[in-house]
Amino acid sequence: MKITVIGDGNAFSDNNSCFYIETNPGLTINNNILFDCGFTVFLKLKNEYPKILEELDAVFISHMDDDHIGSLRTLLYYRYFVLNKSTKIIIGDDSMQNVVVDYLYGVNKEVIGGVKEYAKIYTLMSVSKFNSNVDSKLYLQGIYVNHLQDCYGLKITYLDKLLFISGDTKASSVIEGKVFGVLNINKKKHLVFHDYSEFNYPSRQTHACDNDIEIEYSEEFQDCMIKYHYDNAKILGNIYEI
């Protein structure tokens, strides 16, 4: 898998957090997934990553805050009307279905039937596998995380490799259990991008910070972790391969 960090900032940033995941780069048939599409993302893709706009297959939406969905409709319209491409929308659970449909289509949803035209919604239950175009060894799971509203991280396993991107969340040992389960930890094969805030005050936080990360997560999990969502200049634009 190859992961490009398109943006790593929060709601007040010029670089809303966004990742581009090529589950099997180099193959003719890929599942290329954009993780979140905040209000800064479409223009950044158009100006700096036009190839991604052409090649992505799906957009995973972690939750409904503007810095995670703010330019999603624009991206869908651009791909449909300019590039003549439809796009899959992936959500973590049925609980998000209605709000995502309302966001995408509003009062016109019964008229245009747009779900079939420019975007089709797929739901990932926490124990279900996504029907992959690549092969049966690729699994996508939505992991429910700890935020103010329904929010899901994305777990992808391919062969013996694992990628997890948390979306907005506080630290929680439950998340580590769902992500790693009984897997044999191998830092070279597992990669975790985890929400993080430098405001280190867990009782007033809806994001992970140093104190609760140290309390909730094992050293092995922390060793696999790359912190994002706080304008971490060290990772912006980076490409990771596992």
- Going along the chain from its start, the domains and CATH numbers come out as 2-241 (3.60.15.10)
Stretch 4-33: mean pLDDT, rounded? 86
Least confident of 5-9, 13-17, 123-127: 123-127
Left if phi > 0, otherwise alpha if psi is -120 to 50, otherwise beta: which for 167?
Answer: left
Spatial distance between the Cα atoms of 86 and 81, rounded to a whole number of angstroms: 9
Spatial distance between the Cα atoms of 178 and 118, rounded to a whole number of angstroms: 33
Of residues 203 and 130, which shows the higher confidence score?
Answer: 203
CA 157 to chain centre: 14
Residue 100 is predicted with a pLDDT of 87
Spatial distance between the Cα atoms of 154 and 157, rounded to a whole number of angstroms: 10
Spatial distance between the Cα atoms of 178 and 164, rounded to a whole number of angstroms: 10
Average pLDDT of the chain? 86
Q: Which of 88, 95, 87 has the alpha carbon at shortest distance from 63?
A: 95
**Greatest CA separation found in the chain?**
52
Spatial distance between the Cα atoms of 169 and 145, rounded to a whole number of angstroms: 6
How sure is the predictor about 135, in pLDDT bands with cuts at 50, 70 and 90? Answer: low
Ordered strands of the 2-7 beta sheet: 119-123, 87-91, 58-60, 32-35, 18-22, 2-7, 239-241
Residue environment code for 208-238, b if the CB has 16+ CB neighbours within 10 A, otherwise e: bbbebbeebbeeebbebbbbbbbbbeeeeee
| Count of other CB atoms within 10 angstroms of residue 148 | 10
Sort strands 18-22 and 32-35 into parallel, antiparallel or unpaired. antiparallel
Residue 116 is predicted with a pLDDT of 54
Place of tokens 């957009």: 59
Task: State yes or no: pLDDT of 201 exceeds 50.
Answer: yes
Residue 148 is predicted with a pLDDT of 74
How sure is the predictor about 101, in pLDDT bands with cuts at 50, 70 and 90? Answer: confident
Residue 157 is predicted with a pLDDT of 86
Residue 111 is predicted with a pLDDT of 43
Place of tokens 């223009």: 43
Stretch 56-69: mean pLDDT, rounded? 94
How far CA 71 is from CA of 59, 138, 142, in Å, comes to 12, 28, 22
Token output for 235? 């990772």
How sure is the predictor about 113, in pLDDT bands with cuts at 50, 70 and 90? Answer: very low
